[in-house]
Amino acid sequence: GTPSCLQQASSPCVYSNEDEYADLDWDKLGFGSIPTDYMYITKSAKDGNFEQGHVSRYGSVELNPAAGVLNYGQGIYEGTKAYRKENGHLVLFRPDQNAIRMKMGADRMCMACPSVEQFVEAVKETALANRRWVPPPGKGTLYIRPLLIGSGPILGLSPAPEFTFLVYSSPVGNYFKEGIAPLNLYVEEEFHRASPGGTGGVKSITNYAPVLKALANAKSRGFSDVLYLDSVNKKYLEEVSSCNVFLVKGNLISTPVARGTILAGVTRRSIIEIAQDQGYQVDERTIAVEELFDADEVFCTGTAVGVAPVGSITYQNRRAEYRTKSQSVSEELYVILEGIRRGLIEDKKGWTIEI
């Protein structure tokens, strides 16, 4: 049902408890954009603080043609998810981590940013207002996309005079068309995703359009995604267009160290902790591309991607193949992560927020 606050602007927000589902074929979810009922929106005031936001009907936003985001790419985004537990309750996973990362990104991109509290509240309100779009347990999740843009007009190159923070959502299933089947990655040598001193370590919108070319080339050759190398030595692993990467060799799990050119993913960090708890040695380090040919297993992590096994990686006409069976390390770690999110494993780390 529609929360009463949305019918009457002045009344307090009371969400209905009825567990009504949107009319959707939950077995056919991919990672497309499915419009939901509401989005959260607020703008920065002159002092850089953000006004109290509210959820309103999902729809198009109007932008001045001179908006900073349209002309100079001043924008950052986040990705987080709402999960439905077996008992029907909704859970958010570490949204404070996304809020903190957005603050760091806003600082790098010279943008005003909502507080951590306001960010988390906005994510919560968006999830609750769209609760009928949160898929049944095991069928998918509600992907929540917080977006911060320079919405004010600016012609000369400088920060926009006004920023808009909005949060929208879409029910999603698997990110890749492969579903849960292992990914086949391609090591990109012509294009780079980031460079030292650039914005690769923050979730700037400007990190994403430039990789589309490499992604399109790889997809046309049947690969799932692209694995980038560092732009200085063209020798060390960085990340995949849409996710972080991990290598497993015996009891050692390695992932490229995040030093400004790699996005420090929330799923990456969570998997590192879970792996350490499980007794693995985890090294965040510089990983040479040649190590791909020596690994037992490779997997990817990300909010959208989840924890995805990699079946093969192609580098300079050589193809490395990996273990992907059910005894894999990635499966072991993923089951724990999902268990915490779904309320099947006790959340001793305080990662989940029931809403």
C-alpha distances out from residue 180 to 140, 175, 267, 300, Å? 12, 9, 17, 12
Window 24 to 63, contacts with ligand COI (CB under 6 A): none
| Cα 339 from Cα 192, distance rounded (Å) | 36
- Name which position in 304, 307, 310, 340 contacts ligand COI (CB under 6 A): 304
Which region, judged by CB under 6 A, interacts with ligand COI, from 44-52, 146-154, 220-228, 299-307?
Answer: 299-307
CA distance 41 to 63: 13
Token output for 84? 């439905």
Q: Phi-psi region for residue 336, left (φ > 0), alpha (ψ -120 to 50) or beta?
A: alpha
Q: Which residue is nearest to ligand COI (CB)?
A: 79
Check residue 302 for interaction with ligand COI (CB under 6 A): yes
Who's near 137: CB < 8 A, 6+ residues apart? 83, 84, 85, 86, 342
Q: How far is the CB of 151 from ligand COI (least distance, A)?
A: 21
Which helix (H) or strand (E) segment holds residue 142: the answer is strand 141-150
Angle, to 10 degrees, between the axis of helix 95-108 and the axis of helix 116-129?
130
Which residue in the list 203, 213, 325, 348 is annotated as catalytic? 203
Nearer to ligand COI (CB atom), residue 130 or residue 303: 303
Which residue lies nearer to ligand COI by CB, 303 or 352? Answer: 303
- Catalytic annotation present for 203: yes
Structure tokens at 349: 């780390």
Q: Which is nearer to ligand COI, 182 or 302 (CB)?
A: 302
The residues facing 169 across adjacent strands are 144
Closest approach of Cβ 180 to ligand COI, in Å? 16
With CB under 6 A as the contact rule, which of the stretches 150-158, 221-229, 271-279, 303-311 interacts with ligand COI? 303-311
How many whole angstroms separate alpha carbon 97 and alpha carbon 9?
31
Could you tell me if 30 and 39 are in contact, meaning their C-beta atoms sit under 8 angstroms apart? no
Q: Tell the smallest beta-carbon distance from residue 273 to ligand COI (Å).
A: 18
Our finding on whether 303 is near ligand COI (CB under 6 A) is: yes
Does residue 242 bind ligand COI (CB under 6 A)?
yes
Name the residue nearer to ligand COI (CB basis): 283 or 338. 338
By C-beta, is 102 or 305 nearer to ligand COI? 305
- Could you tell me the smallest distance in angstroms from the CB atom of residue 80 to ligand COI? 7
C-alpha 178/C-alpha 162 separation (Å) is 41
Whole-number minimum distance, CB 303 to ligand COI, in Å? 3
Among residue numbers 65 through 94, which ones bind ligand COI (CB under 6 A)?
79
Q: Give me the residues that bind ligand COI (CB under 6 A), please.
A: 79, 242, 302-305
Question: What residues are labeled active site?
Answer: 203
